[in-house]
Chains A and B, each alone.
Chain A
Amino acid sequence: MGETKLDLLQGTLDLMVLQSLAAMGAQHGYGIARRIEQASGDEVLLNQGTIYASLVRLQQRGWIAAEWGTSDNNRKAKFYSITRGGRKQLAKDAAHWQRLSDVMGRLFSMSPEEGL
């Protein structure tokens, strides 16, 4: 496998799914999984199957909706799309992540001598 891939933090997968759906519109499970893999540049350790647990969680919260439809190559598939509530949640979570990552960035940029 070479270099170890990143383990996903709890809760991040849900956010990734939401973001993918917001960016791509309605998509089926395989599409979402591929999108996340591609976007992460294959840096993330993702068993594609785990997104189905994430999808059911999001759907039960009312942040995404699901509908059976037909894929480009004429396959019956379940298509997920983000709802208005989902977008709101996404905005909230994204802002949270941004702040967290800013803080982490500042923290890591401190040089050892500068301590408190």
Chain B
Amino acid sequence: MSALRRAWARVHSFFHKPPLDAELEAEIATHIELAIEENLQHGLPLVEARRQALVRFGGVDLMKYQHREARGLMRLDILLQDFRYTIRSLGRDRGFTIIAILLLALGIGANIAVFSVVNNLLLRPLPFPNADRLVWIAPPPTKCGLSCATYSTDAYDEFRMYSRSYQDVTGYFAFSGPGNLDLNLGGAPIPATSIDVIANFFEVLGVQPAMGRLFRPEDGNNGAAPVIVLSDAWWRRQFNADPKIVGKAFDMNGNQTTVIGVLPPTFDFGAVFSPGAKVDALTPLNLYGPPRDYGNIITLIGRLKPGVTMGQAVPDAAAAATHMCWNNKQPGSCHQYTGAVVPVPLKDYISGKLRRSLVVLWSAVGSVLLIACVNLSNLLLARAAARTKEFGMRTALGASRFRIVRQLLTESLVLSGAGAICGLVLAAALIAWLRHQQALALPLLSLLHIDGAALGWTVLIALVAAGLFGLLPGLRMASGNLQDSLKDSGAGSGQGRKHERLRSILVVTEVALACVLLVGAGLLLRSFLQVLDVDLGFQPQHAASINVEYDDSAPNDKDGSLGAARRGVIFQQVISRVSAIPGVEAAGISDYLPLGQNRAWGLPWPKSIKQPENVHGSPLVYVITPGYLRAMGTGIRGRDISWDDGPKSRNVVLINRSFANFLDQYAHWPNHDAVGQIIGGNGQEMLVVGVADDVHEESSEGEAGWQIYYSAMQRGPSGAQLVVRTTLPPAVLAGTVLRTLRDINPKQAMAEFRPIQSLVDHANSPRQFFMLLAASFAGLGLLLAAIGIYGVISYSVTQRTQEIGIRMALGATMAQVRRIVLFKTLRLAAFGIAAGAIVSLLVSRAIAALLFNTAPSDPIAFAAMIVLIGAVAMLAGYIPARRASRINPMVALRNN
């Protein structure tokens, strides 16, 4: 109670110093007067009476100090004093202050930005309640793309029934392409992207609507009225954030569809499940309708029961897998999921692949800050050297060593605090920019923001940085004999020499760190260039694609042949009209494009050869028209699909070289040539009419898999992507192509004409992103190291002005002086590079997994790094060297 009262009184006193001080003065004056009076009464003369009164009182200033100490908040007073002093002294040295804060802002800002990305992807839980219980259920990767990563509706039902670890299991239809939803508001339909999800999807994830409701089980039943849930972004963009949208119905894909709810901004399907893709709306998946027999179509997501560990969930899923059938009506299809139902934490699925890159990035940006700190330490050392006299004076006036070190630490803290604030602004700008990079295929990007953890991190690194760069100068100050420094004339003394050695060590450290960063960035850059160099099996330049809508429904179409024939007519019309546009070299249609979605239909085997048991995988299926492969720039041996390969003709296919070679291992075709051979059995026989080049269908980096191309008039495509190869920039043709399509089919939506290159860029974007960041950090590190070298050499030139003057007076030429200074620079750089190269050799092995077709000890990256850093070092040293060679010996000798 009384302690609390005292604390309050102290705070009160802290803010009322002047009146309290005046009162104390008056009290002391009275005290002394009373004492003098008493002494006079004892018969002392006035002078003696006053002297004795003062002696008995003790030192007046000391008493006042004690009183204030007892009364207020002394530490805070001192802190404020130090702070004011710091601001004044930094204000006087404006150039230094600006450079210091800039260095720190760059270092700290980059750190905050990277931390926010790391926090978003690795540290923070996914944006769902109890997200640690969410799992992604998929088979281990195999050679048939998305079709082997998904499950049939029967399998879903059985998994739900036989697994015990899960509170519930949900999933979504994995094969919806972009632009699959046409919104008709009158005028041309507006394309949007919608994903079919199982009705319990939001329940399992724990997502609540921002408005209206989400799906109920009956929404997915046969004959249910069509309903849709809008994403926050689409609701704002397309519906002007209409607050009364719930309950309104719109014509979507020709059906009156009712909006039942709007999702919260925190849930972005694309950001979580298909990074870089925009998903505008979600619709209920009818588990018991037409998709029932489509085969593998559903990706599974489960929520574990509370307390169930992954160790329990994995064997449980494996056990449930034995009960799962691809199709319940085909007993032979049961057991095919055995070993192919493996849960992994959802978060690992989403961001696990990025962990290594992010950790590398985090280390890189930490090194940048370290370089900035070393640099600043160096600057502060130079400043401290210039201030030894100031501190000597303060010591002489009674400041304790502790007080001076505290003053220096206050300076460091003020600098790092200011740097952190500027860095925070920098990071906020960077993050705002990053958040809107929709083309970047990184998950959860739209949720990126600076949160409390990032602010905490900022404070932490600001403190650590202040400690790092303030410690060395502080210790130096505290250890030196300050009295001596008052007598010391400064230049040329032993103290200066020692200082210079320390500063050189710091610069070597800096160069070594920059070196490691550069090598790392160089290796990543080499890898990226290697990725760009990969032969994708198609020519992405000068080609673009657009989603074509068509209606091939035919009445009384029993075997689909009428529809197929009609489709052929439509496609032929589309292609011939588009091909007639000036500038179009080739045009063709495929239902899927490489580096996008894919699917497989099983493994066709050479006719009359028995398929061995242990063969797995199946080729990815593309249903194409004549001209597609030419439009994509994929080479063919044999012939393309032709317009005559219709529903009534013999079934034909093209297969890619890898698949042909694989089959040839078993079939031993004459001349190892697949062209003219028959594959498939049981009335599904197909003539291989051509062998196509291997296409990278999933990523630029992975191996090309197996592909099979069917005729769009013999098999049902799941859409139509028109690919146009042109001599003109694709953007020029966009309007004409869309007009032509709308001319043929007025229901054609205003779809985007996307350059094929953008598919490749999208696939490469994570690598490019990491490479660019690593390169910028390395560049920053190099710049900082260059500043460090410049600082040290420049300082040493100033220190040795006299020596240089003497040398020149004794006949040294300008070139010789320059050579001396440059040699010194070179020595520093050489030490740094040597140390850096050794560390790089060790570090690069740790990032080997991130490299592509590049050895961790890639000589080109190492050599380029040495040349680059050497050149920059020489440049940084050349400026002071030039200055040194211009020294006028007369002036230099006369001074001092």
Chain A residues near B (Cβ < 8 Å): 28-31, 33-34, 47-50, 52-54, 56-57, 59-63, 71, 73, 75-78, 85, 89
Query: Is the beta-carbon distance between B6 and A49 smaller than 8 angstroms?
Result: no
Query: Are B30 and A28 in touch, CB under 8 angstroms?
Result: yes
Instruction: Report A-chain residues with C-beta under 8 Å of the C-beta of B34.
Output: 28, 30-31, 71, 75, 77
Say how far B74's CB is from chain A's closest CB, in angstroms.
12
Query: Please, what's the 1-or-0 string for B7-45, where 1 marks a CB less than 8 Å from any CB in chain A?
Result: 001100100000000011011101101110110000000
Contact of A60 with B71 in the complex, beta carbons under 8 Å = yes
Contact pick for A50, options B9, B24, B28, B66, CB 8 Å: B66
Given A60-B5, A60-B6, check contact A75 B70 (CB 8 Å): no
Would A49 and B37 count as touching, CB distance under 8 A?
A: no
Q: Which of B51-59, B526-534, B597-605, B757-765 has 4 or more CB atoms under 8 Å from chain A?
A: B51-59
Distance to closest chain B CB from A11 (angstroms)? 13
Q: Check A53 against B6 for contact (C-beta < 8 Å).
A: no
Are B2 and A53 within 8 A (Cβ)? Answer: no
Query: Which residues of B sit under 8 angstroms from A31, Cβ to Cβ?
Result: 34
In contact, B66 and A53 (Cβ under 8 angstroms)? yes
Complex contact B63–A50 (CB within 8 A): yes
Across the A-B interface, the 6 shortest Cβ-Cβ residue pairs = A47-B58, A49-B63, A60-B9, A53-B70, A61-B2, A30-B34
Residues of B in contact, count (CB < 8 Å): 31
Is B827 close to A, CB under 8 A? no
Indicate whether A56 sits within 8 Å of B31 (C-beta atoms), given known contacts A78-B23, A85-B2.
Answer: no
Decide: A53 and B5 in contact? CB cutoff 8 A.
no
B62 within 8 A of A: yes
Interface digits, B237-251 against A, CB 8 Å rule (1 contact, 0 not)?
A: 000000000000000
Question: Does B488 reach chain A (CB closer than 8 Å)?
Answer: no
Chain B residues with CB under 8 A of A30: 30-31, 34-35
CB-contact partner of B67 in A48, A52, A63, under 8 A: A52
- Looking at chain A's contact residues, the main secondary structure is helix
Distance between Cα atoms of A87 and B2 in the complex (Å): 14
Distance, CA A30 to CA B24, complexed state (A): 13
* Chain B contact residues, majority secondary structure: helix
Least Cβ–Cβ distance between B881 and chain A, in angstroms:
62
What residues of chain B lie closer than 8 Å to A50, measured between beta carbons?
58, 63, 66
Q: Which residue of A lies closest to B9 (CB)?
A: A60
Other A-B pairs, 4, CB within 8 Å; known A28-B30, A52-B24, A71-B34: A29-B31, A49-B28, A53-B66, A78-B26
Q: Which residues does chain A contribute within 8 Å of B35, judged by CB atoms?
A: 30, 48
Contact residues in B for A29 (Cβ distance below 8 Å): 27, 30-31
Residue of B nearest to A73 (CB): B37
Whether the pair A57, B70 counts as a contact (CB closer than 8 A) is: yes
Q: Is the CB of B70 within 8 A of A56?
A: yes
A85–B13 Cα gap in the complex (Å)?
A: 21
Q: Determine the chain A residues whose CB is within 8 A of the CB of B2 once the complex forms.
A: 61-63, 85, 89
Does B48 reach chain A (CB closer than 8 Å)?
A: no
In the bound complex, what is the Cα–Cα distance between A33 and B2 (angstroms)?
Answer: 24
Neighbouring A residues of B28 by C-beta, 8 Å: 49, 52
Tell me the minimal C-beta distance from B77 to chain A in angstroms.
Answer: 15
Selected from A47, A49, A52, A62, the residue in CB contact (under 8 A) with B5 is A62
30 A-B pairs (CB sep. < 8 Å):
A28-B34, A30-B30, A30-B31, A30-B35, A33-B31, A47-B58, A48-B35, A48-B56, A48-B57, A49-B60, A49-B62, A49-B63, A50-B63, A50-B66, A52-B63, A52-B66, A52-B67, A53-B66, A54-B70, A56-B71, A57-B70, A60-B71, A61-B3, A61-B5, A61-B6, A62-B2, A71-B34, A78-B27, A78-B30, A89-B2
Minimum CB–CB distance from A53 to chain B (whole Å) comes to 4
A9 to chain B, nearest CB (A): 17
**Minimum distance in angstroms from A55 CB to a CB of chain B:** 8
Q: Which single member of B5, B30, B69, B70 contacts A76 (CB below 8 Å)? A: B30
